[in-house]
């Protein structure tokens, strides 16, 4: 029942035909008890655009032009059109504060999930987008077809800077392209950022000479913004081509600005999504990973973790396939982004990963390299062999007959899917 001081239904217009300039959101809406779907949907549109809980005495004429409109309600799924003047170009935090802000806390909804967002071209193009993208990364790495291989020293943190660089050497030597800092490794008392960069670059030079292959470090610059800027500059001074950013814990304001710094220093951005599951995992309430991936591509990461489609240890269903499709598809001419598949992977499951998610992919294997019975270098070799087997169309069992490291990995883990 709509009380006389409420005006939510004015935000519902099922005859409205969105314009190409509108930003469109798809929400899953579960109204609270005693609230109709129409009222709940109207409240979402009102609170995420111009309204509040009550009618207002003075309304500038402009309001009519910029208020959001519910234009479709199908079961629990509601589509809302937002006029472009509601948003500041090149300001991702403001866009999020509008369409993903107060609304999740409204009493009028029992659950609310932002499932998808369609940006109008002009607003999407007001951002930088990826600097390198899939094509650029493959060019820099000189890896034409196969997946890009990454690993991350395990234990997550604990190695000294010297030990970290030494295990990175082993993993690079074994055939891995990228050695990544773990998401919670920044600059710790026993592994200071500056020392780690210096020693990693020394080991990289050594292993590139020995293998003739280009190698890279995904160095985690996650910190306060000014410190991130300093760290990105240091990484560039050492000639490394990547930085890693924990994009959820640092936030989109920092990501947008670091993307500018990375433009100056020609640094690719590896986006780790630690903390995303606090709002993406619950399918009834929060924000989908597809939305997070869309925002990240628009702001301009070059690669982003998107899950293993249920093959690895972390929750990630079939939506990984949909998200990866978006990242690798045409989108207003914005460069395509490498999905990163990671979490509980080991050589025995890699063919399944590539069969399900394709090979335009970064595959990251941490425990599946560092847990190899004969150590990290052989673990890395086993991963490379599993990929070679798949690309050659040979079964792992067959390939393992004359590839010792793969055989030993299969003896330890078989084809198990961790949980």
Residue 262 contact partner, candidates Mg ion, ligand CAP, none, CB within 5 to 8 A by sort of partner: none
Say which residues have a Cβ less than 8 Å from residue 4's Cβ, sequence separation at least 6.
none
Q: Is 167 or 345 the residue whose CB approaches ligand CAP more closely?
A: 345
Question: Which range in 62-70, 176-184, 258-266, 328-336 contacts Mg ion by CB under 5 A?
Answer: 176-184
Binding test (CB under 5 A) with Mg ion, winner from 22, 39, 177, 182: 182
Q: Which residues bind ligand CAP (CB under 6 A)?
A: 152, 154, 156, 182-183, 273, 305, 307, 313-314, 316, 342-345, 365-368
Residue 307 contact partner, candidates ligand CAP, Mg ion, none, CB within 5 to 8 A by sort of partner: ligand CAP
Return the axis-axis angle of helices 247-265 and 289-299, rounded to nearest 10°.
20
With residues binned 3-state (H G I as helix, E B as strand, rest as coil), the percentages for the chain, rounded to 5, are 45, 15, 40
Q: Is 25 or 376 the residue whose CB approaches ligand CAP more closely?
A: 376
CA–CA distance, 347 with 350 (Å, rounded to integer): 5
**DSSP per-residue string spanning 102-171:** GGGG-TTEEEEEEEEEE--HHHHTTS---SSHHHHHHHHHT--SSPEEEE--SSSS---HHHHHHHHHHH
Q: Which residue is nearest to Mg ion (CB)?
A: 182
Q: Does 22 bind Mg ion (CB under 5 A)?
A: no
Q: Does 183 bind Mg ion (CB under 5 A)?
A: yes
Residue 314 contact partner, candidates Mg ion, ligand CAP, none, CB within 5 to 8 A by sort of partner: ligand CAP
Where in the sequence numbering do the catalytic residues fall?
154, 272
Q: Is 48 or 316 the residue whose CB approaches ligand CAP more closely?
A: 316
297: its two tokens: 């591509």
The residue written with tokens 């609304």 in the block is 103
Q: Does 408 bind Mg ion (CB under 5 A)?
A: no
Instruction: Using alpha carbons only, give the angle 109, 115, 120 rounded to the nearest 5 degrees.
Output: 115
Closest approach of Cβ 185 to Mg ion, in Å? 9
DSSP conformation class of 394: -
Using the Cα atoms of residue 92, residue 95, residue 96 and residue 97 in order, give the sign of their dihedral: positive
Q: Is 182 or 377 the residue whose CB approaches ligand CAP more closely?
A: 182
Closest approach of Cβ 280 to ligand CAP, in Å? 10
Closest approach of Cβ 381 to Mg ion, in Å? 22
CA–CA distance, 22 with 10 (Å, rounded to integer): 18
Where in 122-161 is the site for Mg ion (CB under 5 A)?
none
Q: Is 198 or 360 the residue whose CB approaches ligand CAP more closely?
A: 360
Residue 31 contact partner, candidates Mg ion, ligand CAP, none, CB within 5 to 8 A by sort of partner: none
Residue 335 contact partner, candidates ligand CAP, Mg ion, none, CB within 5 to 8 A by sort of partner: none
CA–CA distance, 414 with 225 (Å, rounded to integer): 44
Residue 367 contact partner, candidates Mg ion, ligand CAP, none, CB within 5 to 8 A by sort of partner: ligand CAP
Binding mask 29-68 for Mg ion (x = CB under 5 A): ----------------------------------------
Cβ burial of 268 (10 Å; 0-12, 13-18, 19+) is buried
CA–CA distance, 96 with 123 (Å, rounded to integer): 13
Return the axis-axis angle of helices 404-413 and 376-392, rounded to nearest 10°.
100
Q: Cβ distance 75 to 69 under 8 Å?
A: no
Q: Which helix (H) or strand (E) holds 305?
A: strand 303-305
Q: Is 24 or 188 the residue whose CB approaches ligand CAP more closely?
A: 188
Residue 222 contact partner, candidates Mg ion, ligand CAP, none, CB within 5 to 8 A by sort of partner: none
Q: Which residue is nearest to ligand CAP (CB)?
A: 366
Closest approach of Cβ 218 to Mg ion, in Å? 11
- Residues in touch with Mg ion (CB under 5 A): 182-183
């Amino acid at each position: 029942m709509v009380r006389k001081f409420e005006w939510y239904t004015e935000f519902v217009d099922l005859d409205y035909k969105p314009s190409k300039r509108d930003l469109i959101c798809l929400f899953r809406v579960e109204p609270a008890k005693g609230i109709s779907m129409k009222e709940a949907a109207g409240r979402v549109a009102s609170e995420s655009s111009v309204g509040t809980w009550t009618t207002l005495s003075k309304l500038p004429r402009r309001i009519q032009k910029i208020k959001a409109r519910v234009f479709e309600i199908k079961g629990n799924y509601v589509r809302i059109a937002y006029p472009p003047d509601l948003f500041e170009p090149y300001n991702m935090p403001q866009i999020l504060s509008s369409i993903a802000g107060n609304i999740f806390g409204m009493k009028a909804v029992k659950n609310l999930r932002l499932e998808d967002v369609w940006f109008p071209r002009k607003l999407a193009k007001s951002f930088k987008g990826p600097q390198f993208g899939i094509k650029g990364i493959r060019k820099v790495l000189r890896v034409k077809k196969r997946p890009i291989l990454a690993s991350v020293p395990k234990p997550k943190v604990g190695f000294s800077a010297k030990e970290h660089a030494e295990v990175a050497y082993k993993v690079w030597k074994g055939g891995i392209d990228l050695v990544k800092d773990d998401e919670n490794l920044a600059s710790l008392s026993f592994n200071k950022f500056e020392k780690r960069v210096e020693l990693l670059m020394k080991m990289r030079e050594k292993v590139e000479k020995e293998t003739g292959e280009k190698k890279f470090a995904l160095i985690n610059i996650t910190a306060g913004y000014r410190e991130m800027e300093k760290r990105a500059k240091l990484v560039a001074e050492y000639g490394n081509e990547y930085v890693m950013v924990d994009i959820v814990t640092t936030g989109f304001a920092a990501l947008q600005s670091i993307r500018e710094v990375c433009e100056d220093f020609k640094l690719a951005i590896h986006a780790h999504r630690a903390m995303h599951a606090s709002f993406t995992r619950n399918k009834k309430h929060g924000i989908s990973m597809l939305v997070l991936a869309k925002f990240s591509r628009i702001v301009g990461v070059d690669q982003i973790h998107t899950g293993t489609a249920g093959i690895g240890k972390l929750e990630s269903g079939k939506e990984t396939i949909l998200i990866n499709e978006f990242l690798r598809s045409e989108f207003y001419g914005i460069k395509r982004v490498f999905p990163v598949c990671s979490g509980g992977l080991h050589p025995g499951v890699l063919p399944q990963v590539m069969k399900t998610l394709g090979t335009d992919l970064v595959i990251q294997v941490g425990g599946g390299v560092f847990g190899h019975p004969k150590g990290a270098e052989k673990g890395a070799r086993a991963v490379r062999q599993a990929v070679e087997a798949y690309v050659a169309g040979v079964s792992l069992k067959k390939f393992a007959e004359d590839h010792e490291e793969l055989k030993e990995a299969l003896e330890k883990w078989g084809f198990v899917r961790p949980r």
